[in-house]
Structure 1
Amino acid sequence: MRNQEYAPGEAQPAAGAGSAAPAGTRAPAALPPSGKTIGETQLIWMMALLMALNALGIDAVLPALDELARDLSVEGNSRQFVVGAYLLAAGLGALVPGAIADRYGRRPVLFASLASYIILSIACSLAWSFESLLALRFLQGFGAAGIVALPPAIIRDRVGGDKMARMMSLIFVIFLMVPAIAPSLGQGVLMVMGDWRWIFVFTALAGVAMGAWAWRNLPETLHPEDKQPIRPRIIARNMRATLTMRQALGYTIGSAVIFGALFGFINSAQQLVGEAFGAGPWFPAIFACCAGAMAIASWTNSRIVE
């Protein structure tokens, strides 16, 4: 997420390390209101659950797609756009937070993303038509992209190398717990409240809780000397360099294939499992099994990656 320009032949620091000190050897630049730095265990849980807000915003509404479609007079497969619009916007939005967070710090961008997630969740609960809901979901996905994009940067500010890989694997274990239970949570809200709109209120409350926790305990991890100016020319040049680097391009394509398949499944899971296979009441449990298997694989990776 760096956009600093280096002269030819000049040694470049590792990503996330803006000075000669090795990543992870310095204390965070700012302290939370308690005056204490955040511990590794709390940091892992916080980053995982922040990222999981996006999963909650996507998966909790899956059991309610049928009722949503009836309420807003949606026919055919168009109901899937409620998920697809969010995913598409989140992908596009992921291009934005990096440079801004490198310039102004992690906390301001993270809390702006959280505010967007909360406000637009409430707005979705008040949607008056299917078209307005899709527009709000697109805006929500774009605005909340920083919730997913910033946790790896925050981790990288503190540690690097194999330890970062181990921490990110553990983060994904916790992160994948939310998709496992999100449809059940959404179905529970639907059963208790009787209206799909309350699911969006529930996700907004989850965002408020996470925001309060992060505001209280998460320090600013980007040191002042590491802040970078926003220079579109250099950002574009660095992106071009990344796209022409065979190793980076290979990992990018591999990740795109894997996550593309995952998002394709998420986008069609409710209709496929609930309707095509006639397993509607079992959908949350089947979805939880899929996410649980991924969590086990990620935990295994955390044990062997070093």
Structure 2
Amino acid sequence: MTRIIQSLSEISTDYDVLFCDLWGCVHNGIRAYPSAVQALQAFRRGGGQVCLMTNAPRPAAQVEASFDRLGIPADAWDEIVTSGDAAQDALFAGAVGRRVWHIGPEKDDAFFDPPAQWADAQPIERVSLEDAEGIVCTGPFDEENETPEDYRGQFMLAREKGLKLLCANPDIVVDLGDRRIYCAGALAEFYQQLGGESLYFGKPHPPIYDLARRLLNLREAARVLVIGDGIRTDIAGAVGERLDSIFITGGLAAEELGEDVENPDQALLTDWLSNAQLTPTFAMGRLR
């Protein structure tokens, strides 16, 4: 059974490295959670390494650029790994062709800037759906108002054309402050439901974990702990990688697990995880 803990310090000496989700664990899209930042700082002071692992569809440098605004200090982490990094590598390798229809807001335009290792690669051209060889999805065009259903007509056409969809963010939803918005993963899942083919590179899929291990230069025996609030991304990824995990219940699943967001109800948690058919090693209301 999943053990509920009150703080990371209860178990921190059993681990060398944290793979810690960002949105929902360290910040809410608007500001950082002070207790989460303090927990990461304390882990690093104890000799551990922290990799902030996010399904953001943007390169790590762009994610880092938002940290001052959010209030995430440099001494709370060692590396940042994004699904954008892993998906970018696949894009420039030609996973969905060189002429692509991009679904996503303007803030994700940096995804199409070639990383250093692909500086000499043939450029990626963004074109209309009618002229595309493939699709790149970094999120809805209007993430505050659109739903996957808004793309039904275009996705049916894409399916008939046999286009593959590269999903740069496998998250289904995230909470922006007190609002819940759809992510690229919701659109990719809908495209599959319509008979299309979607390719994923963030959590819970292996490429993002492989990238994190390379960046941290982890030895095989390193004891890694995954922290996240996404049962189908963070926790499923940990299970797939055979890593221990902390499920942050006060994130996406907060409304399901009791009235006190800081302290999940054990009975509700047990039933909820049984339905999810996934068992994290530990659970905690908020990262602290």
Regarding TM over 0.5, the answer is: no
Q: Which has the higher helix share?
A: 1
**Relative contact order, CA 8 A, sep 6+: which one is greater?**
1
Q: Which has the higher strand share?
A: 2
